[in-house]
Structure formats: structure tokens, C-alpha cells
Structure 1
Amino acid sequence: LKYMVYMLKYDSVHKRFEGTVACEEVDGKEFLLVNHKRIAVFHEKDPACIPWGESGADYICESTGVFTAQEKAELHLKGGAKKVIISAPPKDAVPIYVVGVNHHEYKATDTVVSNASCTTNCLAPLTKVINDKFGIVEGLMTTVHAMTATQLTVDGPSRGGKDWRGGRCASQNIIPSSTGAAKAVGKCLPEMNGKLTGMAFRVPTPDVSVVDLTVRLEKPAKYEDIVAAVKEAAAGPMKGVL
């Protein structure tokens, strides 16, 4: 528990937390105190064993990267949660909602949903604006992605041993990788299904990533036309998103 306090207080990228962080144990139960607000802490491998209902947690952000399918994510509901939001593209038919793109299609009956990935949240809004205005025939996206915890600090076997490039030292290599963002865009924008393909490069930076999108348009458009369309969306329906 004290280690959690330490990890939240100090971060190599984001530096010091500008608030108060402490911990306490009450009647055998553990709590983090963040800005004097009490947060219950549990240590369970099985999500079904976490007493979400008792702690008053209705909406669960599933960010382990492990429980990304409907059946697995639903384990949180057994503990008393009402809704589960997966912070990654799902491995099955779990609906994907991206703010500014298709969040208005959310159904109250959905108990498990996906908010897709960081790459998809970057790519989908821009894709929607361009497709709505000019029509997209096909496109290629490339994400230049900061290194992640799944990579290695020194050369070695990659996880599972199948991705040879993925076993290279994260801080010294530009590593080609796969991304599910293009397929995820097709799920939240059905009209784009099958039209986009994508690839990723893991680069030796600790934070911040970028997406490059190249498309073939149905309607002719000048650079200025595309810029104007994006600006219009950013000031209007996608304000706060783009």
C-alpha cells in the first residue's frame, strides 16, 4: 500500500503529483487517501472477487489489458459493478464508443463497452470529419508510438517469443509493430470498415505519440479545404475532441 502511495507521488515522466497522497488501514481494509478522498484498495486476481458493490463503485475502468472480452469483463459485474469500460480494443463483439464519433449511439442496456485505444481516439475523429466532408475510398495510418511497459529494457526474447523485433531494447530502437486501431475505427464508423489499414512504430520516447493518416478521397479537395473542414469541426460538433 505504501508503495502505491510512492508510485502516485513521484513519476519519471509526469514528475510530482500536485496534491496529497497517503494511505490507511481501517478494520483490516486498505485505503488510499488522494487529496483527502478515501479510495478502497483490493488485491484480487479474479475480478469477480472484488466487492465493487460494497465500495460503491458503479462504473469500472478495465485497464489491465487482460479482461478485454465480454465474458471476462463481465466478471466485474459479479462483484456488484453496474457498467464496465474497457480501455482497449475488445477481442470480440463488445461495442466500441469513441467520444465525438459515435458516443451518441450508446445504449443504456450495454453493460460492457470499449473506449478503444489511445490511437483509435486520435484517429477516429479525424477520419470521421474527412469522410463526412469528402468521402474516403481507402487509407493508411501510421502511428509513431512511445515505448510501453510490454517492451524490454535490454535485448532479449520478446513476450511469447514470436515477435523477434519486439525483443529489442526499447530505448535504442525504432521497432515496427502491429496496431488494431484501423480495425477499431471500422467498428465505431461502419462506413469505414475495411477501408483503413495501419502499422505502428515504437520509438524511444517515454511519452507522447502521433498518428499520420494518408487517404484517397472520393471528392477532389485542396489542402486548404481539408484544413478548413477540420477547423470547422474543432470549433463546432467536435469542440474539445479535435
Structure 2
Amino acid sequence: MTVNDDAFTNWKHREEIAESMIPIIGKLHREQDVTVLLHSRSLVNKSVISILKTHRFARQIAGGELSVTETLPFLQALTTLDLGPSQIDIGMLAATYKNNNEGLTVEEFTARAVAGATGTANTRRPEPRDVVLYGFGRIGRLVARLLIEKAGSGNGLRLRAIVVRPGGGRAADDLVKRASLLRRDSIHGQFQGTITVDEAHNKIIANGNEIKVIYAADPTEIDYTTHGINNAVLIDNTGKWRDRQGLSQHLRPGIDKVVLTAPGKGDIPNIVHGVNHDTIKPDEQILSCASCTTNAIVPPLKAMADEYGVLRGHVETVHSFTNDQNLLDNYHSADRRGRSAPLNMVITETGAASAVAKALPDLKAPITGSSIRVPVPDVSIAILSLRLGRETTREEVLDHLRDISLHSPLKRQIDFTTAPDAVSMDFVGSRHASTIDAGATKVDGDNAILYLWYDNEYGYSCQVIRVVQHLTGIEHPTYPTPTP
């Protein structure tokens, strides 16, 4: 047998193992509401190749490739436990087990590591919570995809309705077109599942989820209880109203809380999940998820401030163009944004730097910011230049940020890559708020420059979902527990 034969035989063996993992992962998700992760990446509804690629990717952040032969025993051990709703990272289980010298079996170690999700400590199963999307644009459709994806266990958040302005022509044509936009996306690809249209009842049915499409020109026209919707969270992704007075219009019969997918104004709390989501007051009815750029820069900024101190900083975002720009030169109320988006780099402003104070009130360092819109349809990069409170080295900073991405409570927000040829398209579909580019990082004494890739559509939508899960008490704990 040749070396090539050996490699191919090994590959087929790993394929077989990955294939055996799929029904275990699916059953844990459907029957026990357990999401199996690998270094913060969900393995639910993934193909054999996706599972193998996710294991392969572990080398980028953990320093070495992770094999399915290492993680399968931990997955099998989970099936013997009385688990409640939770997220369990088998990559972290395998990694921490390697460093454990207590002589425990895989089964014993796993049972101890996830004890908070088992037996009498089993997390209660929350009642499903209704969600309404107000607006169905770029963020609205991605949030819809995520809500439908996460409805597989039958618990948690349920997308019940979408509110849109009355379209031209027949309502059926409008409904079909909106369903088609959900089904196919030029950037994020095909919807994973099936979508049908119930024209008679104005519903889109996606993977068995019946979603009512409500046509309304104004929030005050709607009584959601007439559609069987109660105690719902409404996600406003239009950005039309950004202060308390405007967003209060959504607090109609059937709506309990309102979440804005844009920076809030005035006294609206701006929430970045992973950083200040635990400051949400139980009686708060209106809050904002800030901007995609704020979500990208605040978690790494907190990680750096906690370890080194930050005296001042500047963020320059190189941002993909958005729908508020023009395809060709035309009038626009903002300076420069009227110029053709796919043909120009466009200097514009960003409120992300000033929004840092709302998410990190203890950080007294002045942070400035500016932005350049560029001719790419998705994924942006934030260049975060910091004056630190003490001198350090590039190696120390990278070790710190890699550790944060693997082991800290910010590991769902901060990703880490050492890929030497990483470019923007590589991060389409990233579920993290941002990804540290190790190769581009620069450190000189007390000056550090971080390059942060972020999918300003999908990664941000994931952050929105995390805030809503926390707001409704449906945010499942993760095991092994991240190190503070």
C-alpha cells in the first residue's frame, strides 16, 4: 500500500466516524434541546464534510488539528446523561481532557464537566416565546433564517410573523417575491430547508414553521393578538425609529419587548452580547443591539482593556457597501453616499466609536472612528489602533487573544485566524462578532493595531439572536464553562 493509499484510507475512516456522529447530534438537539459545538461552532444539521472541515479548522485557533476520533467518545458519553437545554462544546471537552491528570475515564470526565446541565441541576425547559420581525430586509431575512434554524428542538424562540409595508400589485405576488428572497440569497446562498407559500392565509411556511405576513404601513395599525401572538419580542430591523418615543409605537397588544437592530438614541440601552447583556433590566421593554461595527470592536477592545489597559484608541472601518447607498450616482441626503457604491470607495462617518461608551462605561479612554465604504457586498474589516496602559509584545497579545477566543465568556464573539492568505470572502457566514487576523496584528511597545474581520450581516444577526435569547431567558448555558 502506498502513502497515498494510507492517506485515503484514513480519510474514509474519518468520513465514517463523522457520518456516525450526525444522528447522535441530531437526536440530542431534537429530543433534549442540546446544541453540540466544536470550538463554538455548531455541528447541528451539518454534513459529513462540514463536520470534518470544522475539526480541521481547529488548528487555526488551537494550534493543532482535532480529529473526529478524539471527539466521538465525548459525544457518545453525552448520550448516557440526563441532559437539559444546553450548548456543549466537544472540542473543549477533548482539549481539557488532554490536560487532565486525574485518571478519569472519558465518561467520568464528561459527566463532571457538564454536571450543570444534568439531573437535578438540569436547566428548566422554557415555554416557547413568540417573535415578530418588523421589516424584512437584509438583516430581517438573516434573522429569520437563524430563528427557523434554531426552532428544530421545538423549544425556544418561534418566528410567528413578519410585518412589511403593503407592496405593489397583488398581495400574492408580493408574498411570493418575499418568500423567494428568503429562499435564495446572492451572498449567503440557499436557505437550508424548504419554503412554501400559503397564499390563502398570507403565510410563508419554512421548515414547518408557519409565519404570518402582516401588511401594515404603521405600527399602530396592528393588534397582534388577533393573529394568536402574545407576549412577543418584536425585532425592528427597519431603523426607521431609533428613540424611545418612536419605538414605543411597537408596544401594541401582543408585544412585550422591542429590540432595534441599529444604534439606539437617547436613553435606549445599546447592548453588545458578551459584553454588557447582563445589564439588561428585567422591566426594560425597549433596547438596541447597537451596530455591526460596535459589535465587532467592543469585545476585542474589552479583552485588551482588561489585560493591558487602554489609554486611547482609533477605529477605521473598511466597510462593505449597504442598501442605503446608490447603485449609480444619485441624490442622497448624506454627503458622498449619493455616489455609486459599486464603483467607488466612499468616505463616511461611523457612530461605532462613540457607541463604545454605552457598552463599556468603565472604559474612560477616548475612542475616535471613521469609515470607508468599499465595493464589496459583505464582510468588513475594522482596524483598531490602541495606546495601551503598559508595554507588551506581539506574541503576548496574540497568545492572549487566542486564549480569549477559546476559553473566555467572549469566545462566541471573538474568533481567531492564523491563515496567511485570509481575505474578506473567507468570513462570509461567520457567526462571531469579529475575527482577529493574527498575521496582520502589529505591536510596538505600548501601541497595538488589531485587524478585525466581521460579517456585518450574518455575524451581527447572530449577535441579535443572542440578545433576544438572553432577554427571553432562552439562552442556554455552555459547557465546559468558559474561564472568566
Q: Same fold (TM over 0.5)?
A: yes
Query: Does the Cα contact within 8 Å between 2:313 and 2:365 map onto a contact in 1?
Result: no
Query: Does the Cα contact within 8 Å between 2:311 and 2:365 map onto a contact in 1?
Result: no
Task: Find the aligned partners of 2:228 and 2:375 in 1 and give their Cα distance.
Answer: 40
Task: Find the aligned partners of 1:55 and 1:212 in 2 and give their Cα distance.
Answer: 47
Q: 2:210 aligns with which of 38, 41, 50?
A: 38
Question: How far does the alpha carbon of each residue in 1:149-191 deviate from its partner, in whole angstroms, 9 at most, with x for none?
Answer: 0111111222x2x41x211111111101111111111101012
Query: Does the Cα contact within 8 Å between 2:311 and 2:387 map onto a contact in 1?
Result: yes
Aligned residue number for residue 191 of structure 1: 362
Aligned residue number for residue 139 of structure 1: 313
Q: 2:353 aligns with which of 178, 182, 193?
A: 182
Question: How far does the alpha carbon of each residue in 1:65-98 deviate from its partner, in whole angstroms, 9 at most, with x for none?
Answer: 1021111111111242111111111122101111
Aligned residue number for residue 328 of structure 2: 154
Question: How far does the alpha carbon of each residue in 1:105-136 deviate from its partner, in whole angstroms, 9 at most, with x for none?
Answer: 11111100111111111111001011111111
Task: Find the aligned partners of 1:193 and 1:11 in 2 and give their Cα distance.
Answer: 41
What are the within-5 Å matches in structure 2 for residues 70-219 of structure 1? 70-158=244-332, 160=333, 162-163=334-335, 165-192=336-363, 195-219=366-390
Q: Once the 2 structures are TM-superposed, how far is the Cα of residue 194 of structure 1 from its aligned partner?
A: 6.1
Task: Find the aligned partners of 1:46 and 1:131 in 2 and give their Cα distance.
Answer: 43
Return the letter of the residue paired with 2:379.
V
- Specify the structure having the higher radius of gyration (Cα): 2
Aligned residue number for residue 229 of structure 2: 56
Task: Find the aligned partners of 2:287 and 2:352 in 1 and give their Cα distance.
Answer: 16
> Comparing 191-200 with 168-177, which one deviates more in the overlay?
191-200
Name the structure where helix makes up a greater proportion of residues. Answer: 2
Question: Structure 1 residues 47, 210: closer, same or farther in 2, change over 3 A?
Answer: same
Return the letter of the residue paired with 1:97.
I
Unaligned runs of 5+ in 2: 1-174, 415-484
> Comparing 145-154 with 184-193, which one deviates more in the overlay?
184-193
Task: Find the aligned partners of 1:83 and 1:61 in 2 and give their Cα distance.
Answer: 9
Query: Does the Cα contact within 8 Å between 1:31 and 1:39 map onto a contact in 2?
Result: yes
Q: Once the 2 structures are TM-superposed, how far is the Cα of residue 193 of structure 1 from its aligned partner?
A: 5.2
Question: How far does the alpha carbon of each residue in 1:18-63 deviate from its partner, in whole angstroms, 9 at most, with x for none?
Answer: 211122144xx41111112101111112112233334425111111
Task: Find the aligned partners of 1:61 and 1:134 in 2 and give their Cα distance.
Answer: 36
Query: Does the Cα contact within 8 Å between 1:40 and 1:55 map onto a contact in 2?
Result: no
The 3-state SS of whatever aligns with 1:78 is coil
The 3-state SS of whatever aligns with 2:325 is coil
The 3-state SS of whatever aligns with 1:153 is coil
Task: Find the aligned partners of 1:144 and 1:14 in 2 and give their Cα distance.
Answer: 20
TM-score normalised by structure 1 residue count: 0.92
What are the within-5 Å matches in structure 2 for residues 1-40 of structure 1? 1-26=175-200, 29-40=201-212
Task: Find the aligned partners of 1:223 and 1:31 in 2 and give their Cα distance.
Answer: 54
Task: Find the aligned partners of 1:205 and 1:5 in 2 and give their Cα distance.
Answer: 25
Query: Does the Cα contact within 8 Å between 1:48 and 1:79 map onto a contact in 2?
Result: no
Query: Does the Cα contact within 8 Å between 1:67 and 1:73 map onto a contact in 2?
Result: yes
> Comparing 76-85 with 105-114, which one deviates more in the overlay?
76-85
Aligned residues: 237
Return the letter of the residue paired with 2:321.
M
Q: Note the aligned Cα RMSD (angstroms).
A: 1.5
Return the letter of the residue paired with 1:51.
D
The 3-state SS of whatever aligns with 2:202 is strand
Aligned residue number for residue 240 of structure 1: 412
Question: How far does the alpha carbon of each residue in 1:5-29 deviate from its partner, in whole angstroms, 9 at most, with x for none?
Answer: 1211222222322211122144xx4
Unaligned runs of 5+ in 1: none
The 3-state SS of whatever aligns with 1:82 is strand
Q: Percent identity of the aligned residues?
A: 34
Return the letter of the residue paired with 1:65.
G
Q: Once the 2 structures are TM-superposed, how far is the Cα of residue 232 of structure 1 from its aligned partner?
A: 2.2
Question: Structure 1 residues 224, 52: closer, same or farther in 2, change over 3 A?
Answer: farther
Return the letter of the residue paired with 1:4.
R
Task: Find the aligned partners of 1:13 and 1:7 in 2 and give their Cα distance.
Answer: 12
Q: Once the 2 structures are TM-superposed, how far is the Cα of residue 99 of structure 1 from its aligned partner?
A: 1.0
Query: Does the Cα contact within 8 Å between 1:140 and 1:214 map onto a contact in 2?
Result: yes
The 3-state SS of whatever aligns with 1:110 is coil
Question: Structure 1 residues 228, 70: closer, same or farther in 2, change over 3 A?
Answer: same
